Amino acid sequence: MTRELFSPLPLRSGQVLGNRIAKAAMEENMAGEGQVPDRQLTGLYRRWTAGGTGLLITGNVMVHAEALTGPGGVVLDHSAPLKPFTDWARAGKAGGAAMWMQINHPGRQIQADMPGVVWGPSAVGVDLGKHSSRFGRPVAMTPEQIDATVTRFAVTAHRAEKAGFDGVEIHAAHGYLLSQFLSPLVNQRTDAWGGSLENRARMLLDVVRAVRAAVSPSFAVAVKLNSADFQRGGFDADDARQVIGMLDPLGVDLVELSGGSYESPAMTGRRADSRTQAREAYFLDLATDLVRSSPLPLMLTGGITRRETAEKVLDSGVALVGMGTALAVTPDLPNRWRLDREADRQMRAVTWSDKALASAASMAQVRHQMRRIARGSDPRPGTHPAFALVSEQRHQRRALRRYRAWLPASGDTAAASRPA
Task: Render 228-262 in DSSP notation, one character per residue.
Answer: ---STTS--HHHHHHHHHHHGGGT--EEEEE---S
Higher pLDDT pick, 74 / 233: 74
- 3-state DSSP assignment of residue 55: strand
If phi > 0 it is left, if psi is from -120 to 50 it is alpha, else beta; for residue 303 that is left
- Residue 271 confidence class, pLDDT cut points 50, 70, 90: very low
Q: Considering its fold, how many domains does the chain have in total?
A: 1
Tell whether 400 is covered by a domain.
yes
Judged on CB neighbours under 10 Å (0-12, 13-18, 19+), 140 is: middle
- Residue 321 confidence class, pLDDT cut points 50, 70, 90: very high
Average pLDDT over residues 274-300: 73
| Angle at the Cα of 414 from the Cα atoms of 408 and 416, rounded to 5 degrees | 115
Phi first, then psi: give them for residue 315, nearest 5 degrees: -65, -25
- Residue 272 confidence class, pLDDT cut points 50, 70, 90: very low
The C-alpha atoms of residue 82 and residue 357 are separated, in whole angstroms, by: 36
Q: What is the CATH number of the domain that holds 155?
A: 3.20.20.70
- Of the chain, the percentage scoring pLDDT greater than 70 comes to 90
Tell whether 418 is covered by a domain.
no
- Residue 282 confidence class, pLDDT cut points 50, 70, 90: low
Single-letter amino acid code for the residue at 230: F
Phi first, then psi: give them for residue 61, nearest 5 degrees: -115, 125
Question: In DSSP terms, which residues pair with 223 in a beta bridge?
Answer: 170, 255
Model pTM score = 0.92
Tell whether 139 is covered by a domain.
yes
Tell whether 381 is covered by a domain.
yes
The C-alpha atoms of residue 343 and residue 5 are separated, in whole angstroms, by: 17
The alpha carbon torsion through 11, 13, 18, 21 (nearest 10 deg) reads -60
Average pLDDT over residues 193-200: 97
Q: Is the pLDDT of residue 164 over 90?
A: yes
The alpha carbon torsion through 30, 211, 213, 248 (nearest 10 deg) reads 130
Tell whether 415 is covered by a domain.
no
The C-alpha atoms of residue 45 and residue 361 are separated, in whole angstroms, by: 23
Q: Closest Cα to residue 121, out of 63, 195, 171?
A: 195
Q: For 145-159, write each residue's pLDDT tens digit.
A: 999 999 999 999 999
- 3-state DSSP assignment of residue 152: helix
Tell whether 9 is covered by a domain.
no
Tell whether 78 is covered by a domain.
yes
Domain extent for 157 = 19-409
The mean of the pLDDT values for the chain is 90
Phi first, then psi: give them for residue 193, nearest 5 degrees: -105, 10
Least confident segment among 24-28, 69-73, 346-350: 346-350
Tell whether 83 is covered by a domain.
yes
Q: For 377-388, write each residue's pLDDT tens digit.
A: 999 999 999 999
The H or E element that residue 168 is part of is: strand 167-172
Task: Give the single-character DSSP code of 37.
Answer: -
Question: Residue 383, Cβ neighbours under 10 Å: how many?
Answer: 17
Q: For 47-105, write each residue's pLDDT tens digit.
A: 999 999 999 999 999 999 999 999 999 999 999 999 999 999 999 999 999 999 999 99
According to DSSP H, which parts of 12-101 are helical? 39-49, 83-93
Average pLDDT over residues 250-258: 95
